[in-house]
Chains A and B, each alone.
Chain A
Amino acid sequence: MNKYAVEISGLKKCFSDKEGFTWALNGIDLKIRKNQIFGLLGPNGAGKTTLIYILSNLLLPTSGSAKVLGYDVVKDGDEIRKRSGICLGGTFFYWDMNPREILEYYGRLYGVERERRRRNIDSLINELGIKKFEKKTFSNLSTGMRQKVAVAKSIINDPEILFLDEPTAGLDVGVSIDVRNFIMDIIKERDMTAILTSHHLGEVEQMCKKTAIINKGSIVADGDIKQIKSDVKIPDMIHLYLDDYSKLDFVRNVPGVINFVISDGLFISVDSGLKRIGSIINEFNKRKMNIIDLEIKKASLEEAFLSIVGKSGNRTARHEEGR
């Protein structure tokens, strides 16, 4: 049995218009194991959504190959669409239909038989807190409620794989947490695979163990999030509050210390916070310097992400070669 939910090899996608052509994906190679939430990170225009659309058979690639659940995205689109669900951030449905009607329509469109459809709609409406609003038309729903309908729609057919393209974009903190928790619970409960794209790096860090960072249509890092963070060697930070900030030159000579700065306390960057904290405390004790408070700050995925893709605009390369 194939252990991979997604296998991508040399995948390229080029869009053309009057002004020239744009390579949205520039040769993606990626394998995603089953039964996990896999994160796909990248700046705007990096190619994340294009990749999600290709995997869900809404776009066809220019070259290369991709398989979802063992099915080829070009040849076996029907099989992929039958087994997958897609949830897009800030998406729209029929403005004049209410949530129950929207779920009824998509349930039918996905071929879900009557009894299972009714059961799924009832349980999704209750679990996502849509019940109170089920008679309101989509046009009269709040952004948060619309997004909950989008999440419900994406799993109405009990998919084996779920594509989540920024599912919490534009939502307030409360609704984001609801949506996130619901997705995490349902994926764990049903042993599904999900691919999540997000700008919210904290969200990816919370929901995924593995991720790929995509930039300018190429994968620039992938694997375990912890591993990515350690690979890019972003220093940890030890934040100390002291009663005296003079005579701190010795800090520079403590093994593992990269730099330090005084600003609302003493910030010491070190190669590994947990490894160096003992020797740093010893050095202060030796000099009879009193530490009032301390905190170790681990490198975040956000810092790793910025280090990999850079802080400047990272738009997809546009080749103005004309046609």
Chain B
Amino acid sequence: MLEEISAHVYKHWKLMARRPGELAWLIVYPFVGLISLGILSFYLKSQGAPLETMLYVLVGVIVWSFYEVSQRAISYAITFDIWNNCLRHSFAGKSSVMHFIIGNSTFGLLSSVVAFALVSFTSIIIFGFNIFLAGFYLMNLLSVFIFATGMGLLIDSLMITRGEKWMSLIWMGTGFIMIFSGVYYPIDILPYPMQWISFALPSTHAIISMRAALTLDMSVANTEFIIGLLTSFVYLLFSSLIFRWSLKKSKISGVLTKY
């Protein structure tokens, strides 16, 4: 079982090592995001915005970097196979759907921890903001990781059943989730129906919990942590079933053997 899981980690590792552009996703983009939005928060503070504004923005940007890198590993598993025209070989072996999910998400977790460490330490050095003060509530990142894995699997499901035409959804999907997760603003400012969508996303609860923990509102931090974690498992279960069904559908339609 370990061999099959390690295959997926090995693939990501080798492809990342050979493609400098892949390192950009892990290092450059999270770093650029932190710097540009951190400066924005400084500017807002200088214009009289409360100190919490800076906390809002920096928690959002750090958690979101973690989400993006986590999701990218699993959604790019299929993308790489389609680009390299070897998708059928990835599903011709002994490796199962479970191996696929665990293997790719393991790489997602490892790479997102690297990105998180990079932006968190940069944030301490440049902006004097220490996210590690959230202590136990850093576990909210677990909900974010599980949710990102689920979303990545849904994107994989679309690509495996529809082909490369749906690749742009990787970025589109992430963008839409960001709007509803209240990454840079409280979700109260969204129109009412949109808030319902926000409440349904584990990422929203994880971000609220982290912010609450840093402002010492422990009751909210605890409640939101539990809701975020539970809903993230629901998403993962649901998307795993969808992915399993999509693989079967792809074997019926022949999309799997096209690439």
Contact = CB atoms under 8 A, between A and B. Distances in A.
B86 A94 contact: yes
B94 A81 contact: yes
A21 B89 CA distance: 26
Contacts of B7: 105-106, 108-109
Contacts of B254: 15, 59
B10 A95 contact: no
Contact of B95 (A109, A113, A137): A109
A105 B95 CA distance: 11
Interface string A231-244: 00000000000000
B50 interface: no
B94 A58 contact: no
Nearest to A16: B253
Interface stretch (B12-20, B118-126, B145-153, B224-232): B12-20
A296 interface: no
Interface string A23-62: 0000000000000000000000000000001001111100
A90 B86 CA distance: 11
A78 B94 CA distance: 6
Contacts of A16: 253
B219 interface: no
User: Which size bracket describes the interface of A in this complex?
Assistant: 35 or more
B18 A137 contact: yes
Interface in B233-254: 248, 251-254
B248 A106 contact: no
B6 A108 contact: yes
Contact of B86 (A58, A82, A92): A92
Interface string A207-237: 0000000000000000000000000000000
Given A91-B86, A111-B3, A112-B3, A58 B11 contact: no
A10 to B, nearest CB: 18
Given A86-B92, A111-B3, A58 B14 contact: no
A96 B94 contact: no
A105 B91 CA distance: 13
B144 interface: no
A100 B94 CA distance: 20
Contacts, number: 93
A112 B6 CA distance: 11
B95 A94 contact: no
Nearest to B80: A94
A229 B18 CA distance: 53
A101 B92 CA distance: 18
Interface in A144-191: 153, 157
A4 interface: no
B162 interface: no
Nearest to B251: A60
A81 B93 contact: yes
Nearest to A111: B94
Contacts of B10: 104-105, 108
B165 to A, nearest CB: 14
A96 B86 CA distance: 13
Interface string B1-35: 10110110011001100110000000000000000
Given A60-B248, A101-B14, A92 B85 contact: yes
Contacts of B36: none
A21 to B, nearest CB: 11
Q: With a 10 A CB-CB cut-off, give which of A81, A105, A107, A110 has the most chain B CB atoms.
A: A105
Contacts of A157: 93-94
Interface string B81-101: 000111011111111100000
Contacts of B86: 91-94
Contact of A58 (B85, B95, B251): B251
Given A59-B254, A137-B18, A92 B94 contact: no
Q: With a 10 A CB-CB cut-off, give which of A78, A94, A95, A114 has the most chain B CB atoms.
A: A94
B53 interface: no
A110 B10 CA distance: 13
Given A58-B92, A94-B80, 12 more contacts: A16-B253, A59-B257, A93-B89, A94-B15, A95-B84, A96-B14, A96-B18, A108-B6, A110-B94, A111-B94, A157-B93, A157-B94
Interface of A: 15-16, 53, 56-60, 78, 81-82, 86, 88, 91-97, 101, 104-114, 117, 137, 153, 157
Interface of B: 1, 3-4, 6-7, 10-11, 14-15, 18-19, 80, 84-86, 88-96, 248, 251-254, 256-257
Q: Which 3 A-B pairs have the closest CB atoms?
A: A108-B7, A96-B18, A109-B7
6 contacts: A57-B251, A59-B257, A78-B94, A105-B14, A108-B6, A109-B4
